[in-house]
A and B are shown apart, each in its own frame.
Chain A
Amino acid sequence: MRSTLALAKKELQVYFTTPIAYAAFMVMAFFAAQFFTGALDAYRTFVVRVSGSEAQGVLEHLNLTDVVVSRLFASVGVFIVISAPFLSMRLLAEEKRGRTFELLMTSPVRPLQIVAGKYLAALVVMAVSVGIVALFPALLSLFAKGAQGGPAVEWQTVGTGLLGLLLLGAMCMAVGLFVSALTESVIVAALVSLIVLLGLWVVTLFTVGTEGPLRDLASGMSASEHLMPFLQGRIELKDVVYYLSFVALGLWLTDRAVEGHRWA
């Protein structure tokens, strides 16, 4: 445990002293902000447009959490899928390229501890990423309120949404870590995990217009479909199991890949 934490700490130092993490945070913050302000503007103009007409019924169901926050989080899901490969690419590939991997392998830490330490650091970075996004609903609650005097932003729903994004990030990082263990080139690592993760994100596109078991299989495999209930404020067991399955598979395969270096 102690060596795991020491490894994680060292890894985090690397993360936060090189520009890559900051670049990822910046890109995430910038695009999320664009989406956020865009959705908020659309909301405001819509309210102005239907006010006074007979659309009172529409306004009664218009809620910022649904219309602005959930949509923002859905787009943040895409940014996580795109940014995670760049955050995880160097985790193991760099060690191999810099020939420090042999040092690690000969040190008295077990492969599992190496994998756990690196993954823990990656999770912390992901949590910071998601934390940046949590600023937007907080900003929103300063300027809006519920029609019946309640809070404008449903914090329970925001909470499940953040949890869903965190689980998605955990899955992406686990996949990226495994791919990083297979190659010496950080570029190859980033590209391959990007292809795999994007493929899982848009897998339902392959079955547009079909029905039946194939469509069900595609939506069962789709990383984006599993995120939706979280954004609406529900935690579904099947979605949690899905993301954790990828985490488990990714970590175990990474462990085997590291172990395999002794035999190759």
Chain B
Amino acid sequence: MKKPILSRVLGAVGLVLLATSAVTLFFGNTRFLVGKLVLAAACAAASFALGEAGGLRRFFTGRALHFGAVTAVSALALVVALGAANWIAYQRPKSWDLTKNRIFTLQEDTVRTLRALKTPVKALAVYRLDEEGYAQARALLERYAAVTPRFTFELVDPYKNPEKARAYGVLSSGPRILLLSGDQRAPASAADEQGVTNALVKVTRTAARKIYFLTGHGEPDLASQEPRGYGLLAKALTAEGYEVAPLSLPEQGRVPADAAVLVVAGARKALLPPELKLLDAYADQGGHLGLFLEPEADAGLDKLLARFGVQADDDVVVDPSPAAQLLGSPVSPIALPSGAHPISRELADTALVLPTARSLVALTQAGVTPTPLALTGSEAWGETDLKGVFERGQARRDEGEKGGPLPLAMAAEKPAAGEGQRPARLVAAGDSDFFTNQYLQLGGNRDFAMNALSWLAEQEDRITLRPRSREASLVLLTDAQATALKFLSVDVLPVGLLVLGLAVWMVRRSR
């Protein structure tokens, strides 16, 4: 081959290699990329060296060379400048939302919360890349991050990065977006603006978030993984940023000052008088109590309950409905959450299963009116013959026994007693088994328990943001109209353009 021709071929090969390196870049292997670039450079150099001997020398001298060099340098400079402009536009997002309902604009409460951030907050979103919600979650978090540099986010693929997802206790079934700030963490109740903004409020509020569980009266063990243990619940609470600890009042001698919530769940023996006195004092100072009882077990909490207007009857709820039979036994009643309280509002359509429960009654004449959280169906009744049920396995509805719907869980709030005190809160339920390891995953049990405890810890969502969306539209097309529309758009329009083009072209040709 003649040298000049060889030189041209090599030059072309070098150019092709250089141009296609852009694709090689995305294979993520630097060695391939570097190899290709080196090869391209070698081809170009060889082409130049061979060209020197041929007629290329003339081309590379004088004014043409000068022009080429100047052009190459200024093209490079322009590319760099444009790249920088794009990069800056990425770093400082600015957008104009022109939709009618401003559906891509964060609402005022959110913006205010973000502007008030004093510490950095990081959002961790666990989504598969190909998942439906991925793009939405990403877009939402990008809008948050655009408001303030203190808010950053990271998307974690649970399949590619399971350790990371697990380290934060984020499960595919649990919260998908978790907010972290310092050592505080709070999950978003949903992957929407209301969920994330409320989590943002929680994570920046440095309130005590410690939940104590009373021990020493035969309560299920917090650390236990046995069927009758609270291990799973403790784990779920830890994942949502709560601290969970057992509390033995006789040893401590007082309710710790950092207690956000004190839970008495499943006590089989009566509490001692000094313990009850401490609990009374705790309630007086605006304490938040969760009292979860059992039939046939008197923990001696009646007086304490009565202060909140709640009374637990000495019965066991029997539920003959088919649903209850399906899930266990006639003494594991099904209860539906009521929409009357923040704890149960969101759970209105998932039933709770409460194995062996007592029914609760709201006391009249009390200063506080409790709100029922969950009610049984109308077929259930409160069986007072406990011996008959538990020893002989018989139950019959007698005169004088209460019929359903029976409240099985209640919440009450007592106004603050004095200046600078917080209102006391109580959640009471006639059952403490429903959040043991064995039953936690049944129905709405887990969500109900978590909601009840977070309400007690004052971690309920306080900001309500109505999600904005486009107005729904109606299409009013008869089939004839639809066909006409199809005819207009698929047939008349393109054919019209074609005819127009043909006519113009023929007129031109005839001239």
Contacts and interface: CB of A to CB of B under 8 A. Distances in A.
Contact of B75 (A18, A40, A253): A253
Contacts of B502: 19, 22
A137 to B, nearest CB: 12
A234 B104 contact: yes
A40 B497 contact: no
Q: Is the interface of A mostly helix, strand, loop or mixed?
A: helix
A63 B472 contact: yes
A147 B469 CA distance: 13
Interface stretch (B21-29, B281-289, B452-460): B21-29
A182 to B, nearest CB: 12
B497 A25 contact: yes
A37 B505 contact: no
Interface string B141-182: 000000000000000010010000000000000000000000
Interface string B484-496: 0110111001100
B498 interface: yes
B100 interface: yes
Contacts of A40: 475, 482, 485
A64 interface: yes
B93 A147 contact: no
B466 to A, nearest CB: 12
A17 B472 contact: no
A237 B473 contact: no
B508 A241 contact: no
Interface residues of A, number: 78
A241 B86 CA distance: 6
Interface stretch (A85-93, A94-102, A154-162, A166-174): A154-162
Nearest to B62: A263
B205 interface: no
B26 A214 contact: yes
Nearest to B143: A234
Nearest to A232: B104
Interface stretch (A27-35, A103-111, A117-125): A27-35
Interface string B76-116: 00110010011001101111111110011000000000000
Contacts of A27: 494
Contacts, number: 196
Contacts of B481: 143
A201 interface: no
B477 interface: yes
Contacts of B504: 16-17, 19, 22
A238 B93 contact: yes
A64 B494 CA distance: 23
Most buried by B among A159, A248, A263: A263
Nearest to A214: B28
Given A33-B489, A234-B104, A235-B98, A44 B26 contact: no
Contacts of B505: 17-19, 22
B217 to A, nearest CB: 46
Nearest to A253: B75
A22 B498 contact: yes
A233 B99 contact: yes
A64 B474 CA distance: 8
Contact of B95 (A44, A207, A236): A236
A17 B502 CA distance: 10
Closest 8 CB pairs of A and B: A22-B501, A206-B26, A233-B99, A33-B489, A30-B494, A238-B89, A147-B472, A63-B470
Interface of B: 22-23, 25-28, 63-64, 67-68, 71, 74-75, 78-79, 82, 85-86, 89-90, 92-100, 103-104, 129, 157, 160, 469-477, 481-482, 485-486, 488-490, 493-494, 497-498, 500-502, 504-505, 508
11 contacts: A22-B504, A26-B501, A139-B489, A146-B471, A146-B474, A156-B99, A233-B103, A236-B95, A237-B89, A237-B93, A245-B86
